[in-house]
């Protein structure tokens, strides 16, 4: 090959199906039909493609070089090679530092960077870290309409909420979000990893029966996380407004799920009563835009405190449904359930002979951090207006949301990890017992 | 006096790098507790001089001496009764000059404590000032008819003082004191006081002292409606002091004790025209906390709140010193936590701190002590060691005030730990004699003989640190690690081209770490203590495993083109 690569669209269309089938962000085998909806040369060596594969849109930036001189960065990345077209070797452009940087300058033209690395193993999108300062997230599957994560983080940034990585650049075409550039949260660890660090320390501590006395106590972190969560809800209410709570609809969804998951369960009728009494509460506050899929893995600790990630909602649901307003207690209950999971999962790391001795500690850890989280949450300015009722009503409502989450988890575990079903089941029983 | 001063100035240390303090390792020592040369039970300057070979052997660059001035010793010598003479128990001016000469001959510098904020109430200045309202020194201290002024100033020694004002029955007025009531504050609004303190500084620098650690600097001036700390007038005066020092004594150092948040402390560097060095206070409790929490955030968040400092300045970093583990700079919740973790016995609580030495603070776990030192030596700043910590000395919490951490240096397993031949009862403080930390178990002589001792480890670390000035003056970048128990950072310096990766495991369990090191693709990490080459860094995250409380220092070297590891030693 002499000079710059020439991209042959027919060749590329022919090569794409087998390439797509090898990608982790592509679900399923080789597509039956493939079409190139849009193409644009963004760089001398990069052709950007919007591909229709069996009716689903994907974004594929393709790089090219001489087949005679494959670059080093392709070494060991066979799955990222699209194929050869004449004397041009075609490959996933995000692997090429120069092309990745070119892509970055399309999304955030003002940024100057010197080096790039991929960000860990990711399933559904491709994220690249530049200078340990910026992340470029290339959405592979392209949906119609605004991406909820961009929508929410931008809006939260707009009302001055500091605990999200608000976008510094967004690439949008035909009302579809294609890529976003956000600040890279340097040195961040997710809450799940931190919680497990605390639990491992606790479980290995002799002569400690109060988690507050353990070296790895998580209480102060849990409290700060509660404060950030409440501030997030206050900011969400400011950014997206509030609605009158449609408790009837919420309870309807809860009951339908109970019907699906718990029809055979001995605790079904008792759970029903909890949901029904939730419907009859007098004060329940407004409904607001919520995170929607809130747990320890969605919060990361940084040097500037906790940050909240991933406002895409539960990915299994359709976009429109993910945007529906709900109660802030839905997020709170998600986090509280996550504390229980963390304590139990860390317990499962231990030898079976230890488990009986350690279970009271697991319970104490969970209790302490629930309390600390709620203390922080409820003490935050502005949260009272979003909870509406008195303390007792809030407690009852939170109980119902938590029960709902635990019922969902029972269903999920039965389908995916039957070994784990005991975790949410014990939570269901506990909540009903405390009623 | 100046004749002798001129003589001292011919010493070799004068000629070298004027920014020596950016790369130096300091060693804090109380003359009283180091070595007794005349068997009176009190350590003295001659004793310290006799032990200079040890300090040189250890690899220390600069001694920091606690106050050695004439004093009634009601505050460990920080209550100075005469700035121009030596406490008789320590010796005399000739002894001080011998010490300076002998230290300089070994390439060791000496800085000393100086208290500029206040004096002892025994100081002739105060004795004169209190006599009347119109004597020549009547305005040298801060006097008032009532005790209602400057209400916004906090009380620092909350355990012993209830007000910053005390009544003087002689002058029939109140005097101002930010510390103990026997330590009246000098009145810096008086030009004569300002000049008098500059004369004190020049006197000692003239004798050959290499600088001062200046005690309690934020409190020099008082202004109504403020908290009387960090006032502009205080900075202005300190800049004047610096100018006078630079003009006559280039290469000497001024080190500030300003126990404040980093953002306030940096004010004391000025634009590089105030203090050469300031202590970084908040990092120290955070290091202890990180190890207990087994996660790095207590450290990284305080470092991320630490502003850049001007060219030519440096942080002073320490794990322990003669004072308590200072908790003024942590939040209430963290303070409660530190108390709960480190001071289960209320006697250990002094003011708002904890009076413990390093070894007992970490429950005598040598792995933790080594990890903490490794971090101290590899973070930006000049480390300050506290005498005795290099051998893992303990403390005696049953001694009053802060004396628990000021017991005699333990030299040998012989009587009085080899510190003094005086009768036991004459010693200024009893040496430690408990079975774990007592001088029979922990002493320099035994550790010298034991090649795997803490002492030898420390000496080796100081050696390696000295070979890599990047530890003093290089930049610091954190490496993002998913594992919260692992703290990794790169120190780098364009000038020397030296790049060092430091990885620390804050956990008591073994931990894995995947380090995103792609920007160093192709370089070979060489472990600095053993010079063992590790596998080359590639385009994937660099994977290391660390044992409990383990650390690595890797020099990143380009070995492409050389098959063996060569002799690349920075």
Domains of chain A, CATH where assigned: 9-102 (3.30.200), 116-183 (3.30.200), 189-434 (3.90.1200.10)
Q: How, if at all, do strands B62-65 and B26-29 pair?
A: parallel
- In this prediction, residue B327 carries a pLDDT of 63
Give the side-chain half-sphere CA count within 13 A for B266.
11
Selected residue of A76, A303, A350, A379 to mutate for chain B interface (largest B Cβ count, 10 A): A303
Residues 528-547 of B with CB under 8 A from A: 539
**Contact: B484, A117; criterion CB under 8 Å:** no
Note the pLDDT of residue B76: 86
Superfamily of domain B471-557: Golgi alpha-mannosidase II (2.60.40.1180)
d(CA A90, CA B81): 83
Report pLDDT for A4: 81
Of the two residues A6 and B172, the one the predictor is more confident about is B172
Is some CB atom of chain B closer than 8 A to the CB atom of A133?
A: no
Q: Which residues pair with A169 in a beta bridge?
A: A181
Q: Is the dihedral of CA A20, A24, A29, A33 positive or negative?
A: negative
Domain B2-119+191-465 coded CATH 2.40.37.10? no
For residues B547 and B505, the answer to whether their CB atoms sit within 8 Å is yes
Is B494 part of the contact surface with chain A (CB cutoff 8 Å)?
Answer: no
Q: Say which CATH topology domain B120-185 has.
A: Oligo-1,6-glucosidase; domain 2 (3.90.400)
Higher-pLDDT residue of B570 and B192 is B192
Cβ count near B25 (within 10 Å): 22
Query: What pLDDT is recorded for position B187?
Result: 97
Pick the catalytic residue from B44, B257, B267, B274.
Answer: B257
Q: What is the pLDDT of residue A262?
A: 85
Q: Kindly state the DSSP code that residue B67 receives in the 8-state scheme.
A: P
**Which residues have C-beta within 8 Å of that of residue B564, sequence separation ≥ 6?**
none
User: SS3 helix, strand, coil % of chain A, rounded to 5?
Assistant: 50, 20, 30
Instruction: Decide: A104 and A130 in contact? Cβ < 8 Å.
Output: yes
Contact A339, A366 (CB under 8 A): yes
> Does A220 sit within 8 Å of B337, measured CB to CB?
yes
Q: What is the mean pLDDT of residues B424-435?
A: 96
Give the C-alpha separation, B375 to B368, whole Å.
11
For A303, which of B300, B341, B477 is closest by C-beta distance?
A: B300
Q: What are phi and psi of B128, to 5 degrees?
A: -75, -45
Asked if A342 contacts A367 with a C-beta cutoff of 8 angstroms, the reply is no
Q: Per residue in B330-349, pLDDT tens?
A: 666 666 666 666 665 555 55
Beta bridge pairs of residue B143: B175
User: Nearest Cα to B465, choosing from B378, B567, B391?
Assistant: B378
**How many C-beta atoms lie closer than 10 Å to residue B94's C-beta?**
12
ipTM of the complex: 0.84
The pLDDT, as a whole number, for residue B4 is 43
Question: Which conformational region is residue B127 in: left (phi greater than 0), alpha (psi within -120 to 50 degrees), or beta?
Answer: alpha
- Look at A215 and B292 and tell me if their CB atoms are within 8 Å: yes
Helices (H) and strands (E) in chain B, counts: 17, 24
Residue B257 is a catalytic residue: yes
Region B139-163: mean pLDDT is 92
Amino acid B570: pLDDT? 39
> What average pLDDT does the segment B545-555 reach?
98
Which among A117, A200, A217 has the least Cβ separation from residue B509?
A200
Mean pLDDT within A269-279: 94
Residue A274 CB-density burial (10 A; 0-12 exposed, 13-18 middle, 19+ buried) = buried
Which of B295, B480, B518 lies closest to A186 in CB terms? B480
Identify which has the larger pLDDT, A249 or A170. A170
Classified as helix, coil or strand, A407 is helix
Read off the pTM: 0.89
- How many angstroms away from the CA of A128 is the closest CA of chain B? 12
Position B260 confidence tier, pLDDT thresholds 50, 70, 90: confident
Predicted confidence at residue B342, as pLDDT, reads 60
Of all residues in chain A, the percent with pLDDT exceeding 70 is 97
Reduced to 3 states, what is the DSSP secondary structure of residue B550? coil
Is B484 in contact with A194 (Cβ distance < 8 A)? yes
DSSP, res B177: -
pLDDT of residue B1: 39
DSSP B308: P
Token code pair at residue A159: 């009302």
Using the beta-carbon criterion (under 8 Å), do A303 and B304 form an inter-chain contact? yes
Residues of B in contact with A197 (CB under 8 A): 294-295, 484-485, 507
User: What is the structure's pLDDT at B348?
Assistant: 52
For the cut 70, the answer to whether the pLDDT of residue A167 exceeds it is yes
CATH 3.20.20.80, chain B: domain bounds: 2-119+191-465
The kind and range of the H/E element at B7 are: helix B2-8
Helix axes B191-207, B93-105, angle to 10 degrees: 60
pLDDT at A109: 95
Indicate the pLDDT class of residue B569, thresholds 50, 70 and 90.
very low
* DSSP letter (8 states) at residue A132: T
Q: What is the 3-state secondary structure (H, E, C) of B251-271?
A: CCEEEECCCCCHHHHHHHHCC
Would you place residue B3 in the very low, low, confident or very high pLDDT band (cuts 50, 70, 90)? Answer: very low
> Which phi and psi angles does A364 have, rounded to 5°?
-65, -40
Q: Is A217 an interface residue toward B (CB < 8 Å)?
A: yes
Q: Give the pLDDT of residue B321.
A: 81
Provide CATH 2.60.40.1180 ranges for chain B: 471-557
Tokens of B40: 């009176």
CATH 3.90.400.10 spans which residues of chain B?
A: 120-185
Q: What distance in Å separates the CA atoms of residue B63 and residue B54, rounded to the nearest whole number?
A: 12
**Mean pLDDT value across residues A52-69:** 94
pLDDT value of residue B325: 61
Least confident of A280-289, A350-359, B217-226: A280-289
Q: Are the beta carbons of B509 and A204 separated by less than 8 Å?
A: yes
Least confident segment among A360-369, B71-80, B399-408 = B399-408
Nearest CA in chain A to B519: A115
First and final CA of chain A: distance in angstroms?
Answer: 75
CA–CA min distance B69, chain A (Å): 43
In terms of Cβ atoms closer than 10 Å to its own Cβ (0-12, 13-18, 19+), residue A378 is middle
Position B8 pLDDT exceeds 60 = no
* Model confidence pLDDT, tens digit, residues B462-516: 999 999 999 999 999 999 999 999 999 999 999 889 999 999 999 999 999 999 9
Identify which has the larger pLDDT, B411 or B285.
Answer: B411
pLDDT grade, residue B6 (50/70/90)?
very low
> Are A304 and B340 an interchain contact pair (Cβ–Cβ within 8 Å)?
no
* Mean pLDDT in residue range A22-44: 92
B482 interfacial to chain A (CB closer than 8 Å): yes
Distance from CA of B76 to the nearest CA of A (A): 34
**Is residue B47 within a helix (H) or strand (E), and if so which, with residue range?**
helix B45-50
Q: What burial letters (b/e) apply to A90-114, b meaning 16+ CB within 10 Å?
A: bbbbbbbbbbbbbbbbbbbeebebe
* DSSP string over B131-193: T-SSSTTTTSB-EESSS-S-TTSPPS-TTT-S-SEEEETTTTEEEE-SS-TTSPBB-TTSHHH
Task: Please determine, for residue B282, whether its predicted confidence score (pLDDT) is greater than 90.
Answer: no
Q: What is the mean pLDDT of chain B?
A: 91
Judge contact between B312 and B19, C-beta under 8 A: yes
């Amino acid at each position: 090959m002499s000079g710059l690569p020439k991209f042959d669209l027919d060749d590329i269309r022919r090569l794409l199906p087998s390439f797509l089938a090898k990608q982790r962000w592509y679900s399923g085998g080789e597509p039956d039909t493939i079409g190139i909806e849009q193409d644009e040369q963004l760089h001398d060596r990069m052709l950007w493609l919007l591909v229709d594969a069996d009716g689903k849109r994907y974004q594929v930036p393709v790089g090219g070089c001489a087949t005679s001189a494959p670059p080093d960065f392709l070494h060991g990345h066979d799955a990222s090679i699209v194929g050869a077209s004449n004397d041009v070797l075609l490959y996933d452009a995000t692997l090429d530092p120069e092309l990745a940087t070119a892509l970055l300058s399309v999304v955030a033209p003002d940024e100057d960077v010197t080096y790039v690395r991929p960000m860990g193993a990711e399933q559904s999108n491709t994220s690249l870290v530049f200078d340990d300062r910026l992340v470029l997230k290339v959405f592979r599957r392209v949906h119609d309409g605004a991406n909820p994560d961009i929508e929410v983080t931008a809006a939260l940034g707009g009302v001055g909420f500091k605990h999200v990585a608000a976008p510094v650049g967004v690439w949008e075409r035909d009302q579809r979000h294609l890529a976003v550039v956000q600040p890279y949260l340097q040195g961040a660890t997710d809450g799940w990893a931190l919680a497990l660090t605390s639990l491992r320390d606790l479980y290995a501590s002799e002569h400690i029966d109060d988690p507050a006395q353990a070296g790895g106590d998580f209480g102060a972190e849990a409290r700060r996380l509660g404060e950030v969560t409440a501030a997030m809800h206050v900011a969400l209410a400011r950014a997206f407004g509030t609605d009158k709570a449609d408790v009837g609809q919420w309870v309807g969804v809860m009951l339908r799920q109970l019907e699906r998951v718990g029809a055979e369960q001995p605790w079904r009728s008792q759970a029903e009563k909890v949901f029904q009494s939730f419907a009859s509460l007098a004060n329940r506050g407004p409904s607001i835009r919520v995170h929607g899929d809130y747990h320890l893995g969605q919060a990361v600790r940084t040097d500037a405190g906790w940050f909240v990630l991933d406002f895409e909602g539960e990915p299994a649901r359709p976009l429109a449904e993910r945007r529906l307003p709900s109660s802030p207690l839905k997020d709170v209950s998600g986090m509280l359930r996550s504390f229980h999971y963390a304590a139990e999962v860390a317990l499962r790391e231990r030898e079976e002979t230890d488990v009986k001795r350690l279970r009271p500690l697991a319970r104490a850890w969970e209790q302490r951090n629930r309390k600390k989280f709620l203390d922080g949450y409820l003490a935050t300015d502005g949260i009272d207006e979003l909870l509406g009722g008195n303390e007792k009503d809030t407690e009852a409502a939170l109980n119902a949301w938590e029960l709902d989450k635990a019922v969902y988890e029972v269903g999920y575990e039965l389908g995916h990890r039957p070994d784990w079903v005991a975790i949410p089941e014990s939570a269901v029983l506990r909540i009903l017992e405390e009623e | 006096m100046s004749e002798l001063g001129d003589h001292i100035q011919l010493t070799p240390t004068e000629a070298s790098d004027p920014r020596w303090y950016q790369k130096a390792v300091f060693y804090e020592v109380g003359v009283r507790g180091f070595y007794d040369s005349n068997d009176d039970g009190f350590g003295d300057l001659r004793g310290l001089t006799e032990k200079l070979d040890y300090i040189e052997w250890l690899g220390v660059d600069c001694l920091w001496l606690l106050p050695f001035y004439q004093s009634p010793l009601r505050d460990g010598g920080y209550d100075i009764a005469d700035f121009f003479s030596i406490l008789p128990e320590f010796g005399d001016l000739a002894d001080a000059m011998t010490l300076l000469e002998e230290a300089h001959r070994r390439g060791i510098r000496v800085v000393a404590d100086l208290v500029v904020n206040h004096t002892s109430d025994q100081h002739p200045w105060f004795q004169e000032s209190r006599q009347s309202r119109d004597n020549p020194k009547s305005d040298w201290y801060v006097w008032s008819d009532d005790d209602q002024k400057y209400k916004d100033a906090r009380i620092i020694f909350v355990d012993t003082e209830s007000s910053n004002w005390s009544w003087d029955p002689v002058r029939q007025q109140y005097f101002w004191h930010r510390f103990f009531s026997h330590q009246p504050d000098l009145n810096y609004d008086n030009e004569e006081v300002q000049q008098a303190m500059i004369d004190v500084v020049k006197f000692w620098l003239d004798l050959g002292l290499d600088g001062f650690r200046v005690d309690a600097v934020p409190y020099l001036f008082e202004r109504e409606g403020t908290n009387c700390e960090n006032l502009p007038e205080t900075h202005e005066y300190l800049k004047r002091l610096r100018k006078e020092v630079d003009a006559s004594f280039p290469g000497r150092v001024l080190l500030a004790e300003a126990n404040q948040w980093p953002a306030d402390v940096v004010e004391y560097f000025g634009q590089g025209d105030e203090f050469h060095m300031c202590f970084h206070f908040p990092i120290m409790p955070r290091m202890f906390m990180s190890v207990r929490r087994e996660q790095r955030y207590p450290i990284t968040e305080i470092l991320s709140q630490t502003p850049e400092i001007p060219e030519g300045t440096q942080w002073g970093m320490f794990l322990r010193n003669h004072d308590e583990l200072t908790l003024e700079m942590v939040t209430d919740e963290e303070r409660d936590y530190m108390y709960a973790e480190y001071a289960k016995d209320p006697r250990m609580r002094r003011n708002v701190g904890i009076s413990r030495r390093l070894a007992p603070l970490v429950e005598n776990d040598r792995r933790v002590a080594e990890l903490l030192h490794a971090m101290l030596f590899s973070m930006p700043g000049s480390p300050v060691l506290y005498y005795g910590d290099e051998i893992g000395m303990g403390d005696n919490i049953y001694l009053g005030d802060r004396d628990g951490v000021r017991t005699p240096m333990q030299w040998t397993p012989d009587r009085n730990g080899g510190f003094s031949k005086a009768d036991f009862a004459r010693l200024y403080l009893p040496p430690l004699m408990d079975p774990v930390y007592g001088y029979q178990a922990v002493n320099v002589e035994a550790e010298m003989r034991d090649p795997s001792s803490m002492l030898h480890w420390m000496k080796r670390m100081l050696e390696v640190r000295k070979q890599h000035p990047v530890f003093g003056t290089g930049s610091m970048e954190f490496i993002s690690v998913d594992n919260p128990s692992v703290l990794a950072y790169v120190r780098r310096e364009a000038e020397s081209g030296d790049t060092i990766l430091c990885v620390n495991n804050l956990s008591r369990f073994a931990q894995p770490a995947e380090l995103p090191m792609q920007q160093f693709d192709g370089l070979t990490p060489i472990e600095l203590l053993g010079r063992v080459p590790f596998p080359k860094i590639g385009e994937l995250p660099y994977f290391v495993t660390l044992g409990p409380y383990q650390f690595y220092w890797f020099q990143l070297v380009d070995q492409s083109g050389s098959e063996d590891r060569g002799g690349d030693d920075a």
